[in-house]
Amino acid sequence: MDIYTIPVRYQDSFSNLDEFKLISKIIDQLGSSAAKDIIVPPGDDAAVWMNSKNSLTVATVDTLTEGTHWRADTMSFYDVGWRAITASVSDLAAMGATPNYLLIAITLDTSTTEQNINMLTEGIAKSSTVHKVKIAGGDITRAHTNIISVTAIGQITQNNPQSNYYPIMRRNTAEVGEFVAVSGYPGTSGAGLNILEANIQGTLDAELITLHRQPIARIELGVSAAKAGIKCAIDLSDGLVQDLEHIAKASNIGIKIDTRKIPLHSTAYNLLGEQKTLDLALGQGGEDFELILTGSEQHLRSLHTIELPVTIIGKTTLKHPGQVKVYKGTDEEYDPPQRGWNHLRND
Protein backbone atom coordinates (compact mmCIF):
# COMPACT_ATOMS: atom_id res chain seq x y z
CA MET A 1 0.00 0.00 0.00
CA ASP A 2 1.29 3.37 -0.95
CA ILE A 3 -0.10 6.84 -0.32
CA TYR A 4 -0.22 7.36 -4.08
CA THR A 5 -2.84 4.71 -4.69
CA ILE A 6 -5.62 6.22 -2.58
CA PRO A 7 -8.67 6.68 -4.81
CA VAL A 8 -9.61 10.30 -5.41
CA ARG A 9 -13.12 11.63 -5.60
CA TYR A 10 -12.86 14.32 -8.23
CA GLN A 11 -14.24 17.77 -7.54
CA ASP A 12 -15.11 20.52 -9.95
CA SER A 13 -12.44 22.76 -8.46
CA PHE A 14 -9.42 21.52 -6.54
CA SER A 15 -9.83 23.69 -3.44
CA ASN A 16 -11.27 20.86 -1.36
CA LEU A 17 -8.99 18.23 -2.81
CA ASP A 18 -6.32 16.79 -0.57
CA GLU A 19 -2.83 17.96 -1.57
CA PHE A 20 -1.36 14.47 -1.39
CA LYS A 21 -4.20 12.93 -3.38
CA LEU A 22 -3.81 15.61 -6.02
CA ILE A 23 -0.07 14.92 -6.26
CA SER A 24 -0.83 11.20 -6.51
CA LYS A 25 -3.39 11.82 -9.23
CA ILE A 26 -0.97 13.99 -11.17
CA ILE A 27 1.81 11.39 -10.88
CA ASP A 28 -0.65 8.80 -12.20
CA GLN A 29 -1.65 11.06 -15.07
CA LEU A 30 1.96 11.71 -16.01
CA GLY A 31 2.22 8.09 -17.05
CA SER A 32 5.52 7.26 -18.68
CA SER A 33 6.80 10.82 -18.29
CA ALA A 34 7.13 10.35 -14.52
CA ALA A 35 10.61 9.06 -13.72
CA LYS A 36 9.75 5.70 -12.19
CA ASP A 37 13.05 3.94 -12.81
CA ILE A 38 15.28 6.29 -10.86
CA ILE A 39 16.60 5.40 -7.40
CA VAL A 40 13.90 7.39 -5.61
CA PRO A 41 10.96 8.19 -7.89
CA PRO A 42 8.39 10.99 -7.36
CA GLY A 43 6.54 10.77 -4.05
CA ASP A 44 9.29 11.00 -1.46
CA ASP A 45 10.91 14.15 -0.02
CA ALA A 46 13.20 14.42 -3.04
CA ALA A 47 14.06 12.55 -6.20
CA VAL A 48 17.33 10.66 -6.44
CA TRP A 49 19.20 9.58 -9.52
CA MET A 50 22.68 8.34 -10.27
CA ASN A 51 25.14 10.76 -11.79
CA SER A 52 26.47 9.64 -15.10
CA LYS A 53 30.23 9.48 -15.27
CA ASN A 54 32.15 11.85 -17.53
CA SER A 55 29.33 14.35 -17.67
CA LEU A 56 28.39 17.79 -16.37
CA THR A 57 25.06 18.38 -14.68
CA VAL A 58 23.23 21.40 -16.14
CA ALA A 59 20.16 22.85 -14.43
CA THR A 60 17.73 25.69 -15.01
CA VAL A 61 14.36 26.91 -13.76
CA ASP A 62 11.74 28.78 -15.78
CA THR A 63 8.35 30.06 -14.65
CA LEU A 64 5.18 30.82 -16.62
CA THR A 65 2.49 32.93 -14.95
CA GLU A 66 -1.07 33.43 -16.12
CA GLY A 67 -1.64 36.92 -17.49
CA THR A 68 2.07 37.53 -18.10
CA HIS A 69 3.24 34.49 -20.04
CA TRP A 70 -0.08 33.27 -21.26
CA ARG A 71 -3.67 34.40 -21.59
CA ALA A 72 -6.59 32.12 -20.96
CA ASP A 73 -8.22 33.22 -24.24
CA THR A 74 -5.33 32.14 -26.47
CA MET A 75 -3.76 29.22 -24.60
CA SER A 76 -5.47 26.18 -23.09
CA PHE A 77 -4.05 24.62 -19.93
CA TYR A 78 -2.76 21.83 -22.19
CA ASP A 79 -0.77 24.41 -24.16
CA VAL A 80 0.52 26.02 -20.94
CA GLY A 81 1.80 22.68 -19.66
CA TRP A 82 3.38 22.00 -23.04
CA ARG A 83 5.10 25.34 -23.30
CA ALA A 84 6.36 25.34 -19.69
CA ILE A 85 8.34 22.19 -20.45
CA THR A 86 9.59 23.58 -23.76
CA ALA A 87 10.73 26.85 -22.17
CA SER A 88 12.88 25.08 -19.57
CA VAL A 89 14.44 22.43 -21.77
CA SER A 90 15.14 25.11 -24.39
CA ASP A 91 17.51 26.78 -21.90
CA LEU A 92 19.45 23.52 -21.69
CA ALA A 93 19.40 23.16 -25.47
CA ALA A 94 21.02 26.59 -25.70
CA MET A 95 23.96 25.30 -23.65
CA GLY A 96 24.33 22.16 -25.75
CA ALA A 97 23.00 20.04 -22.87
CA THR A 98 20.62 17.11 -23.04
CA PRO A 99 17.78 17.51 -20.51
CA ASN A 100 17.08 14.40 -18.42
CA TYR A 101 14.86 15.22 -15.46
CA LEU A 102 12.28 17.83 -14.49
CA LEU A 103 10.97 19.11 -11.16
CA ILE A 104 7.65 20.90 -11.57
CA ALA A 105 6.26 23.44 -9.08
CA ILE A 106 2.62 24.25 -9.80
CA THR A 107 0.69 27.01 -8.07
CA LEU A 108 -3.04 26.89 -8.71
CA ASP A 109 -5.81 29.37 -8.25
CA THR A 110 -8.48 27.74 -6.08
CA SER A 111 -11.08 28.27 -8.80
CA THR A 112 -9.09 26.26 -11.34
CA THR A 113 -11.23 23.36 -12.50
CA GLU A 114 -10.44 19.69 -12.34
CA GLN A 115 -10.62 19.60 -16.13
CA ASN A 116 -8.03 22.33 -16.49
CA ILE A 117 -5.67 20.58 -14.06
CA ASN A 118 -6.07 17.43 -16.15
CA MET A 119 -5.30 19.35 -19.33
CA LEU A 120 -2.26 20.99 -17.75
CA THR A 121 -0.95 17.58 -16.74
CA GLU A 122 -1.58 16.14 -20.19
CA GLY A 123 0.29 19.01 -21.82
CA ILE A 124 3.19 18.50 -19.40
CA ALA A 125 3.27 14.77 -20.10
CA LYS A 126 3.05 15.13 -23.88
CA SER A 127 5.72 17.83 -24.15
CA SER A 128 7.98 15.83 -21.79
CA THR A 129 7.61 12.79 -24.01
CA VAL A 130 8.33 14.81 -27.17
CA HIS A 131 11.43 16.32 -25.54
CA LYS A 132 12.50 12.97 -24.05
CA VAL A 133 12.62 14.13 -20.43
CA LYS A 134 11.22 12.52 -17.29
CA ILE A 135 9.48 14.22 -14.38
CA ALA A 136 11.35 13.37 -11.19
CA GLY A 137 9.35 15.39 -8.66
CA GLY A 138 7.37 18.51 -7.93
CA ASP A 139 5.26 20.55 -5.57
CA ILE A 140 1.70 21.86 -5.68
CA THR A 141 0.49 24.93 -3.84
CA ARG A 142 -2.42 27.32 -4.10
CA ALA A 143 -2.57 31.06 -4.52
CA HIS A 144 -4.69 33.64 -6.32
CA THR A 145 -3.25 32.85 -9.73
CA ASN A 146 -1.95 29.98 -11.84
CA ILE A 147 1.80 29.57 -12.11
CA ILE A 148 4.01 26.77 -13.35
CA SER A 149 7.72 26.69 -12.62
CA VAL A 150 9.84 24.00 -14.26
CA THR A 151 13.36 23.03 -13.19
CA ALA A 152 15.20 21.10 -15.90
CA ILE A 153 18.32 19.14 -15.01
CA GLY A 154 20.45 17.64 -17.72
CA GLN A 155 23.97 16.83 -18.76
CA ILE A 156 26.78 17.59 -21.13
CA THR A 157 29.00 14.66 -21.99
CA GLN A 158 32.64 14.85 -23.02
CA ASN A 159 33.26 14.43 -26.76
CA ASN A 160 35.95 11.94 -25.86
CA PRO A 161 36.06 10.15 -22.50
CA GLN A 162 39.86 10.52 -22.43
CA SER A 163 39.75 14.30 -22.80
CA ASN A 164 38.70 16.76 -20.15
CA TYR A 165 36.86 18.93 -22.69
CA TYR A 166 33.11 19.50 -22.36
CA PRO A 167 31.27 21.00 -25.36
CA ILE A 168 29.36 23.79 -23.61
CA MET A 169 27.83 26.75 -25.43
CA ARG A 170 27.57 30.04 -23.55
CA ARG A 171 26.39 33.56 -24.27
CA ASN A 172 29.68 35.23 -23.35
CA THR A 173 31.88 33.38 -25.86
CA ALA A 174 31.06 35.13 -29.14
CA GLU A 175 34.14 36.54 -30.89
CA VAL A 176 34.69 39.32 -33.37
CA GLY A 177 34.59 38.08 -36.97
CA GLU A 178 32.06 35.30 -36.42
CA PHE A 179 28.83 34.77 -38.28
CA VAL A 180 25.45 34.86 -36.54
CA ALA A 181 22.79 32.27 -37.41
CA VAL A 182 19.30 31.37 -36.29
CA SER A 183 17.43 28.10 -36.57
CA GLY A 184 13.92 27.80 -38.00
CA TYR A 185 11.69 30.80 -38.66
CA PRO A 186 11.80 33.50 -35.98
CA GLY A 187 8.52 35.31 -35.36
CA THR A 188 6.44 32.22 -35.96
CA SER A 189 5.10 32.01 -32.42
CA GLY A 190 4.21 35.70 -32.48
CA ALA A 191 2.50 35.24 -35.86
CA GLY A 192 0.39 32.44 -34.38
CA LEU A 193 -0.67 34.71 -31.52
CA ASN A 194 -1.48 37.56 -33.93
CA ILE A 195 -3.65 35.26 -36.00
CA LEU A 196 -5.42 34.06 -32.86
CA GLU A 197 -6.02 37.64 -31.72
CA ALA A 198 -7.26 38.72 -35.14
CA ASN A 199 -9.45 35.62 -35.21
CA ILE A 200 -8.24 34.77 -38.70
CA GLN A 201 -9.80 31.41 -39.37
CA GLY A 202 -8.56 28.94 -41.92
CA THR A 203 -6.60 25.79 -42.55
CA LEU A 204 -3.37 27.70 -43.31
CA ASP A 205 -3.15 29.26 -39.89
CA ALA A 206 -3.63 26.06 -37.87
CA GLU A 207 0.07 25.25 -38.16
CA LEU A 208 1.10 28.71 -36.88
CA ILE A 209 -1.30 28.50 -33.96
CA THR A 210 0.11 25.09 -33.03
CA LEU A 211 3.65 26.46 -33.26
CA HIS A 212 2.59 29.26 -30.89
CA ARG A 213 0.85 26.97 -28.42
CA GLN A 214 3.05 23.91 -28.56
CA PRO A 215 6.56 25.03 -29.50
CA ILE A 216 9.47 22.59 -29.71
CA ALA A 217 12.87 23.19 -28.12
CA ARG A 218 15.92 22.54 -30.32
CA ILE A 219 17.66 20.00 -28.15
CA GLU A 220 19.29 17.95 -30.92
CA LEU A 221 20.51 21.06 -32.69
CA GLY A 222 22.02 22.34 -29.44
CA VAL A 223 23.93 19.13 -28.80
CA SER A 224 25.07 18.88 -32.44
CA ALA A 225 26.18 22.50 -32.53
CA ALA A 226 28.20 22.19 -29.31
CA LYS A 227 29.81 18.97 -30.48
CA ALA A 228 30.59 20.59 -33.86
CA GLY A 229 32.60 23.27 -32.06
CA ILE A 230 30.10 26.13 -31.75
CA LYS A 231 30.97 28.01 -28.56
CA CYS A 232 28.20 30.60 -28.27
CA ALA A 233 24.42 30.21 -28.30
CA ILE A 234 21.23 31.49 -26.71
CA ASP A 235 17.65 30.42 -27.11
CA LEU A 236 15.26 32.76 -28.87
CA SER A 237 12.74 33.59 -26.15
CA ASP A 238 12.52 37.39 -25.99
CA GLY A 239 12.86 38.32 -29.69
CA LEU A 240 15.90 38.39 -32.01
CA VAL A 241 17.21 41.85 -31.11
CA GLN A 242 17.00 41.45 -27.36
CA ASP A 243 18.44 37.94 -27.33
CA LEU A 244 21.28 39.05 -29.62
CA GLU A 245 21.87 41.95 -27.21
CA HIS A 246 22.36 39.43 -24.42
CA ILE A 247 25.14 37.83 -26.46
CA ALA A 248 26.62 41.22 -27.45
CA LYS A 249 26.73 42.43 -23.86
CA ALA A 250 27.95 39.19 -22.29
CA SER A 251 30.63 38.77 -24.99
CA ASN A 252 31.47 42.48 -25.27
CA ILE A 253 31.19 42.48 -29.06
CA GLY A 254 28.90 44.23 -31.54
CA ILE A 255 26.39 42.42 -33.73
CA LYS A 256 24.90 43.55 -37.04
CA ILE A 257 22.12 41.68 -38.77
CA ASP A 258 20.45 42.05 -42.17
CA THR A 259 16.64 41.95 -42.14
CA ARG A 260 16.63 40.60 -45.69
CA LYS A 261 18.41 37.45 -44.56
CA ILE A 262 16.04 36.63 -41.71
CA PRO A 263 14.07 33.51 -42.73
CA LEU A 264 10.34 34.18 -42.38
CA HIS A 265 7.67 31.51 -42.18
CA SER A 266 5.86 31.49 -45.52
CA THR A 267 2.39 31.18 -44.02
CA ALA A 268 3.02 34.08 -41.64
CA TYR A 269 4.41 36.08 -44.56
CA ASN A 270 1.31 35.38 -46.64
CA LEU A 271 -1.20 36.11 -43.89
CA LEU A 272 0.44 39.06 -42.12
CA GLY A 273 2.77 40.50 -44.74
CA GLU A 274 6.55 40.81 -44.76
CA GLN A 275 6.86 43.87 -42.52
CA LYS A 276 4.68 42.55 -39.72
CA THR A 277 6.31 39.12 -39.77
CA LEU A 278 9.74 40.72 -39.69
CA ASP A 279 8.83 42.94 -36.74
CA LEU A 280 7.48 39.92 -34.89
CA ALA A 281 10.80 38.14 -35.48
CA LEU A 282 12.86 41.13 -34.35
CA GLY A 283 11.05 41.77 -31.11
CA GLN A 284 7.27 42.10 -31.26
CA GLY A 285 6.93 38.35 -30.83
CA GLY A 286 8.87 35.98 -28.63
CA GLU A 287 9.03 32.43 -27.32
CA ASP A 288 10.05 30.87 -30.61
CA PHE A 289 12.55 28.66 -28.74
CA GLU A 290 14.79 28.56 -31.80
CA LEU A 291 18.54 28.82 -31.22
CA ILE A 292 20.79 31.75 -32.07
CA LEU A 293 24.36 30.58 -32.72
CA THR A 294 27.62 32.33 -33.54
CA GLY A 295 30.62 30.71 -35.20
CA SER A 296 32.46 30.15 -38.45
CA GLU A 297 30.47 30.04 -41.68
CA GLN A 298 31.53 26.41 -42.17
CA HIS A 299 30.43 25.31 -38.70
CA LEU A 300 27.09 27.08 -39.00
CA ARG A 301 26.36 25.78 -42.50
CA SER A 302 27.13 22.21 -41.38
CA LEU A 303 24.15 22.41 -39.02
CA HIS A 304 21.63 23.34 -41.73
CA THR A 305 19.02 20.76 -42.71
CA ILE A 306 15.83 20.98 -44.77
CA GLU A 307 13.80 19.97 -41.71
CA LEU A 308 15.38 22.65 -39.54
CA PRO A 309 17.15 25.38 -41.50
CA VAL A 310 20.05 27.20 -39.85
CA THR A 311 20.38 30.57 -41.57
CA ILE A 312 23.17 33.12 -41.35
CA ILE A 313 21.61 36.52 -40.64
CA GLY A 314 24.56 38.65 -39.60
CA LYS A 315 28.05 39.02 -38.21
CA THR A 316 29.82 39.97 -35.04
CA THR A 317 31.92 43.11 -35.11
CA LEU A 318 34.48 45.09 -33.15
CA LYS A 319 32.32 48.23 -33.46
CA HIS A 320 29.58 49.20 -30.98
CA PRO A 321 30.31 46.51 -28.34
CA GLY A 322 27.21 45.42 -26.42
CA GLN A 323 24.91 46.67 -29.15
CA VAL A 324 22.89 45.16 -31.98
CA LYS A 325 22.40 47.07 -35.24
CA VAL A 326 19.69 46.04 -37.66
CA TYR A 327 20.12 46.84 -41.37
CA LYS A 328 17.81 46.55 -44.34
CA GLY A 329 20.29 45.11 -46.80
CA THR A 330 23.78 46.39 -46.05
CA ASP A 331 23.40 50.13 -45.56
CA GLU A 332 20.00 51.41 -44.36
CA GLU A 333 19.73 51.08 -40.58
CA TYR A 334 16.34 49.88 -39.36
CA ASP A 335 14.91 50.68 -35.95
CA PRO A 336 12.36 47.96 -35.18
CA PRO A 337 9.20 49.12 -33.37
CA GLN A 338 9.94 46.71 -30.52
CA ARG A 339 13.31 45.23 -29.64
CA GLY A 340 12.07 42.48 -27.36
CA TRP A 341 9.86 41.36 -24.57
CA ASN A 342 10.51 42.03 -20.91
CA HIS A 343 8.31 39.99 -18.63
CA LEU A 344 8.60 42.38 -15.70
CA ARG A 345 7.43 45.50 -17.54
CA ASN A 346 3.83 46.63 -17.38
CA ASP A 347 2.36 46.65 -20.87
Using CB under 8 A as the binding rule, the residues of this chain from 180 to 239 that contact its own copies are: 234-235
CB of 277 to its own copies, least distance (A): 26
Measure the CA–CA gap between 282 and 187, rounded to whole angstroms: 7
Site mask, its own copies, residues 62-101, x = CB under 8 A? xxxxxxxx---------------------xx-xx-x---x
Measure the CA–CA gap between 73 and 116, rounded to whole angstroms: 13
CB of 31 to its own copies, least distance (A): 20
Q: What residues are paired with 183 via a beta bridge?
A: 310
CB of 133 to its own copies, least distance (A): 13
- For its own copies, the closer of residues 191 and 291 by Cβ is 291
* Residue 312 binds to its own copies (criterion: CB under 8 A): no
* Residue 157 binds to its own copies (criterion: CB under 8 A): no
Decide: 146 and 43 in contact? Cβ < 8 Å. no
CB of 134 to its own copies, least distance (A): 12
Residues 32-61, interacting with its own copies (CB under 8 A): 39-40, 43-53, 55-61
Strands 55-65 and 147-157: antiparallel
Q: Which helix (H) or strand (E) holds 111?
A: none
Stretch that binds its own copies, among 112-120, 168-176, 192-200, 330-338 (CB under 8 A): 168-176
**Residue 4 CB partners (closer than 8 Å, separation 6+):** 23, 24, 27, 28, 43
CB of 14 to its own copies, least distance (A): 7
Residues 126-155, interacting with its own copies (CB under 8 A): 136-145, 147, 149, 151-153, 155
CB of 254 to its own copies, least distance (A): 12
- For its own copies, the closer of residues 30 and 136 by Cβ is 136
Measure the CA–CA gap between 342 and 324, rounded to whole angstroms: 17
**CA-to-CA separations, 330 to 183, 293, 301, in angstroms, rounded:** 22, 21, 21
* Residue 159 binds to its own copies (criterion: CB under 8 A): no
**Residue 54 CB partners (closer than 8 Å, separation 6+):** 157, 158, 161
